[in-house]
Amino acid sequence: MMTKAIPHTKFDIAQLERELVENGYDREEIDEILQEARSINSSSFYPVEDVYEFLYKLRMQERDY
């Protein structure tokens, strides 16, 4: 699972993109996922629940591959 891209509750967008490519996501999916990660990063508080929900959705998508 993509754990290197998540230092604390903020996403390392570049690392997340590399890991998504390595895991076989297509460009459209990557763009959608990165947009959501950027949105979470831009929150003025630490959205721990948002991060875990986001990771859960990614995990469910990986099972489809």
- Would you state the pLDDT for residue 18? 94
Asked if residue 32 belongs to a domain, the reply is yes
Question: Is residue 3 in some structural domain?
Answer: no
Q: How far apart are CA 58 and CA 53, in angstroms?
A: 9
43 inside domain: yes
- Domain that includes residue 19, residue range: 13-63
Domain membership flag for residue 6: no
Domains of the chain: total: 1
Residue 31 lies in a domain: yes
pLDDT per residue over 2-57, tens digit each? Answer: 556 655 567 889 999 999 999 899 999 999 999 988 988 887 665 677 777 888 88
For residue 4, tell me if it sits in a domain: no
